[in-house]
Every structure is written in C-alpha cells, then in structure tokens.
Amino acid sequence: MCTIAQADSERGTRWTRALLWTSLLAALGLGLWGLATWAYRDGVARLADQGRTDLDLYVAHLHGLLAKYEPLPELLATNPRLSDFLRAPGGQASIEALNRYLETINRISDAADTYLMDATGLTIAASNWHAERPFVGRNFSFRPYFRDAIGGQLGRYFALGTTSRQRGYYFAYPVREGDEILGAVVVKIDIAEAEQRWSKPDRIFLVTDPDGVIFVSTRPEQRFRTLFPVDAATRARIQRSNRYPEAELAALDMTLGAALPTGQLVRLSTGRRWPGRQTYLLQSRAMPAAGWQVHALTDTGEALRDSLRLTILAAAMVVMSGLIAALLLQQQRGRRAHAALAEAARASLERINLQLEERVASRTAELTRSNRRLRDEIDERLRAEQALREAQQALIQSAKLATLGQMSAGINHELNQPLSAIRTYADNGRLLLRQGRAREVTDNLEQILALTDRMAKIGSQLKLFARKTSGELTDLPLAPVIEGAARIAAPLLAKSDGHLETRVPADLRVRANDVLLQQVLVNLLGNACQAIAGGPQRRILLSAVRLEDMIVTRVQDTGPGIPRSDLDLIFEPFFTTKDAGEGLGLGLAISARIAIEMGGALRVVPCPNGACFELRLPAADIHA
C-alpha cells in the first residue's frame, strides 16, 4: 500500500514537473516570439522613418525636375518666330533656321527634345531634326498633351516615345496668334535621370501613372509593369492609347501583407535574391499635378536580421541565465546535500561515539570489577602464601625439633661420654694432684678442657640448628656448612656405627641460607645414617662439585636404597616407612621445598647400591 501511494506521488511530482517545464518553455517561446515581433516592428518603424524621408526627398526631386521644365514651352510659345513660322513656314532655309533655334534651346535647357507641331499635330520643326529618326514630319495628334495644348491648356503627359523608344515627360503649350491657336510647342524631358542617382540596394523607388503602370523604377525589370493586377478593359484602354507601345503591362509578383500605420508590408519577388520573395514596406506619395503616385519599397530584411539577432541574443541570455541559475541551484543543492551528509555523518559519529563510550564505560566497570576481584584474589593468595609460609616455618621448626628429638639419644650419648670422661679425668687429676704428679694433672686438665670445648661446640651447633631463620640468601662457602651438618649428625652416625667420608673442595661457594642448607644436609645425613644402620658396610659419602652454574652436593649411602615404587612418594609430606617415633615423613618434603626456595632442586639419582640424594644450588659467583 505504502509503495503504491509512494509511486503515485512520484508520478504526480513528475507530471507537475513536466507541466511546469512545458509552461516555462511555452512562456519563453512566446516571450521570444513577442520580442522578435516587437524588434521587427521597431526595425520596420525605423526603416519607415528613413523611407518616408527618402520618399519626400525623391518627390521633391521629381517636383524640381518637372518644375524646371514646366514653364519652358509657355516661354517658347511667346516667341513670335514660332507663330510666324506656323503661319508661314517658308522655305527650306526657314525650316532649318527654326530647327537650329529649337536645337539651341534644347541644348541650353538640357531637355530631351523640343519641337513644334502645327494645328494638325504634324511636327514641323524639331531639335533632333538631323538625328537618325527625327520627329519632323511625324504626327503626334493622338497624344493627349497635344490635345490639351490645342485646347488652350498646358499639356502634360508621360509616355514611351513611339519614335525614340525613350520614356519621356512631355510639356506642351499652345502657340497663339491673337486668340487663334496655330499649333503647339513641346518640350520632352528624359525621365531616366529620375532613376540613375536614386538606385539603392535596399530601397526601390518607383512612379506609377493613374492606372498603376510603373513607368519609373530604380529596378529596370519593373518598368512598364503594373503595381497591382489590372483588369482586361483597363489594359485594352491603355494599349489603345499607345502610351506604352508594346508593353505587356504584367503585374508585379507581389502579395499584400500587414497594413502598418507607416505603410503597407508586401511580399515581393524581385527575381534577384534567394529566397525569391522578400518583405518590403510600401510607402506612397501622390503628385497630383503630374497625376503620379510615387512609391518607395524598402527591404525589411535588415529589420528581420536585427530582430533575429536580438532574439538569438535574448535566447542566448535566457539560456545562459537558465544555466547559471541551474548551476547555482545545483551548487545550493550540493551544499545542502553536503550539509545533510555532514549532519548525518556527525549524528552517526555521535551515535558511534556514544555507543563506544557506553561500551568503554561498561568494559571499564567490568574491568574494575574483575580488577577488584583479581586484587582480592591476589590478597587472598598473598594471605594464603603468608599462612603457608608461616605453616612451613612452623613445620620446618617442628621438623627440626623432631630431628633433635630423634637425635636426643645420640646427643645424650655424645654429651654423656665427654661428661663421664671429664669426671674420670677430674677424679684421676685429684689423685694425681695428691701424689704430686703435677705434669699428669696438667695433661688431665687439658683433656678436660678439650672435652668441654667439644661439648660447647656440639651445643652451639644444636643451637644453630634449632634457630629460627628468616630464610634470607647469602653467598657462603659450602665446606663449613657441610662440616657443621656432619657434626650435628655425628651422634646419629655414631649410633649407626657408620663412617662418613666428605669430599668437598674448600673453594666452593654457594648462594643459600646457611641454617636451611644445614637443615637439608642434616636431614639427608640423618636418613643415610638410619639407612645404613644394621647394614653390612655402613658408609656414607658426602661430596660436592661445581657443574656449570650450579653446585651439586650428593649424599650417597650404602643402605638398602629406595624401592622404585616409593620413588614418587618419598617427597610427599608424612610419607614414611619408619616406625612411629622414628620418623614423621616430613624431612624430605621440607628439604625439597627449601631447595626450590633457594633456587635449586633436590632429587634422588640412581646409584649402584644404596640411595643417592642430589642437592643442586646456584653457585655464589653468578649473583656477584
């Protein structure tokens, strides 16, 4: 539904747009047409102004031309020589004299011909008397000008000369003697002059007679044609008058156009230019005295070209304005689209940013939570480690005490032996003193001193062993620690009736805690003593070597060794194969832990007989 409504609305918009464009183009076309028409009319009006002026000038010229000759026949007629001649022509000499007189007058007045006719219309003297076809002897009584003159009036007439074949305007005046009219004197003007200087490319001047016959035209091909078609009767009458001998009197190929206040538009074929017919503005003036109509035909091509130029210019300007407007509109649209795009991008960025911030905030909260959890766990672990360390310390301590407990019989023996020896030496010394054997007394006292020294040493070693330690590591020589451990273990060794051999180079230095290291060694020696007890060989070898960065100390015994099945268990806490009261099963577990904490390791290594424990610790110099 929504899509159909959308399509309908889109179609409607397209239609509206098409209608708008059509109306706009139609209005533009109409406007341009109006402009073209106005420009054409305006151009034609300007041409009409010029045409009217030219026409007035032309009419004035014609007036001047006629006015110049109009009084001449009358003036000639007053000469009694003419009337005398008409009355009595006389002989050849007289005729020739008059001919010469008329020739002179004709030359001076610059007329075409001047001649004298008698009352019958016969030309009796003429200025062209010696020309090829002279008028003399010819009768022109049929000419209206003759009839007018014989009638006593100024005769004026335009015609194509029947003899000369030249167009001419005739002025005729009666020659009187008293009241009697004896004949007529005629002056003929060559009308071609009215054409020669007025020929213009864009303007045609023509003169028509009352019947509309063109007898003057600046375009030769138009002469002796009619401006408008004439009916057959008129044509017959004109031809009968012999005014224009042999002229066909065909009408001009002309049709009427719009009638303007300034003149009449006509379409005229001049037969000269393409496209055949041009539009001319026809303007006319009457010359009533001569019975003429003078016309000017002005080619309106220039106005048409001007209007076309203006219209094309206007169209170009409209198109350019349209293009500029479209460009501006496009730019504006582009700007708007750009702004919308930027806004959309900004909004989307903002949204993304917001989402990002939310995500970051949630992640941060999550991280903070997990951090707190982690910190709690670390604290927990630290606390546990601390507790463990404390427990270990306690265990170590109790293990030590346990070891001391195990060793108490041996220690007891170790202390009782020198004590009883001291007692014996002291008793002997008293007896010897009584006997005055001072030197022997001194020996006994020295023995007593040596024994007390030994007891003090045992005591200090035990004190050292039982001491609590912080576990701090230092660089220390290995041999004294081994010596101390051997001394502590000495009562056990004695109890097992074993033999301890130590092979420890004096220069070996180890990175360890002396108390803990001694504890491990005492532990290993204690186990070895217990293992060899009752055995056939009862030997213990305590050796140390340096292997690369490690000091490797081995405690090897000739006891029964460790069954393969127990190898994985002996380092477990509370694993013991000994009778209750003899072992807690903590010694190796604690020793292995101590070895690890000092950066080393404790393990069982294979050996041909008995058991062999290997303690690896970092050499001291690698930390120096």
Q: Between residues 350 and 582, which has the closer beta carbon with respect to ligand ADP?
A: 582
CA atoms within 13 A on the CB side of 62: 28
Cite the DSSP H helix spans in 126-214: 144-150, 193-196
CB of 602 to ligand ADP, least distance (A): 11
**SS3 sequence, 443-501?**
HHHHHHHHHHHHHHHHHHHHHHHHCCCCCCCEEEEHHHHHHHHHHHHHHHHHHHCCEEE
Q: Who contacts 120 (Cβ-Cβ below 8 Å, separation ≥6)?
A: 139, 141
Query: Which positions lie near ligand ADP, rule CB under 6 A?
Result: 523, 527-528, 531, 557, 559, 561-562, 570, 575-578, 583-589, 611
- Neighbour tally for 88: CB within 10 Å: 8
CB of 387 to ligand ADP, least distance (A): 23
Distance CA 334, CA 337 (A): 5
Query: Collapsing DSSP states into helix, strand and coil, what is residue 518?
Result: helix
Distance CA 394, CA 534 (A): 33
CB of 572 to ligand ADP, least distance (A): 9
- Neighbour tally for 129: CB within 10 Å: 19
Query: Collapsing DSSP states into helix, strand and coil, what is residue 534?
Result: coil
CB of 401 to ligand ADP, least distance (A): 13
Q: Between residues 310 and 515, which has the closer beta carbon with respect to ligand ADP?
A: 515
CB of 380 to ligand ADP, least distance (A): 30
CB of 482 to ligand ADP, least distance (A): 17
Q: Between residues 505 and 560, which has the closer beta carbon with respect to ligand ADP?
A: 560
Q: Between residues 100 and 575, which has the closer beta carbon with respect to ligand ADP?
A: 575
User: Across 42-120, where does the E strand assignment appear?
Assistant: 113-118
Spatial strand order in the sheet of 167-177: 123-126, 113-118, 180-190, 167-177, 155-160
CB of 528 to ligand ADP, least distance (A): 5
Q: Between residues 64 and 536, which has the closer beta carbon with respect to ligand ADP?
A: 536
CB of 583 to ligand ADP, least distance (A): 3
Q: Between residues 150 and 524, which has the closer beta carbon with respect to ligand ADP?
A: 524
CB of 576 to ligand ADP, least distance (A): 3
Q: Between residues 125 and 407, which has the closer beta carbon with respect to ligand ADP?
A: 407
Q: Between residues 410 and 583, which has the closer beta carbon with respect to ligand ADP?
A: 583
Rg of the chain on CA atoms, in Å: 81
Distance CA 393, CA 380 (A): 19
CB of 404 to ligand ADP, least distance (A): 13
296 closest CA partner among 42, 44, 52, 43: 52
Q: Between residues 62 and 588, which has the closer beta carbon with respect to ligand ADP?
A: 588
CB of 600 to ligand ADP, least distance (A): 18
In the block, residue with structure tokens 């127990």 = 566
Alpha-carbon torsion 583, 589, 594, 600, what sign?
positive
CA distances from 268 to 226, 278, 286, 556, 620 (A): 13, 5, 22, 148, 134
CB of 570 to ligand ADP, least distance (A): 4
Q: Between residues 79 and 576, which has the closer beta carbon with respect to ligand ADP?
A: 576
CB of 575 to ligand ADP, least distance (A): 6
End-to-end CA distance of the chain: 90
Q: Who contacts 539 (Cβ-Cβ below 8 Å, separation ≥6)?
A: 498, 499, 500, 501, 532, 557, 558
Distance CA 98, CA 451 (A): 209
CA atoms within 13 A on the CB side of 572: 8
Q: Between residues 86 and 399, which has the closer beta carbon with respect to ligand ADP?
A: 399
Amino acid making up residue 586: L
Q: Between residues 161 and 583, which has the closer beta carbon with respect to ligand ADP?
A: 583
Structure tokens at 536: 């056939």
Distance CA 484, CA 502 (A): 12
Q: Between residues 23 and 537, which has the closer beta carbon with respect to ligand ADP?
A: 537
CB of 615 to ligand ADP, least distance (A): 13
Cite the DSSP H helix spans in 262-300: none
Q: Between residues 294 and 531, which has the closer beta carbon with respect to ligand ADP?
A: 531
CB of 527 to ligand ADP, least distance (A): 3
CB of 362 to ligand ADP, least distance (A): 54
Write the DSSP symbol of residue 116. E
Whats the size of the chain, residue-wise? Answer: 624
Q: Between residues 275 and 581, which has the closer beta carbon with respect to ligand ADP?
A: 581
Q: Between residues 279 and 527, which has the closer beta carbon with respect to ligand ADP?
A: 527
Amino acid making up residue 311: T
DSSP helix, strand, coil percent of the chain (3-state; round to 5): 55, 20, 25
Spatial strand order in the sheet of 203-208: 214-217, 203-208, 292-299, 277-287, 263-269, 254-260
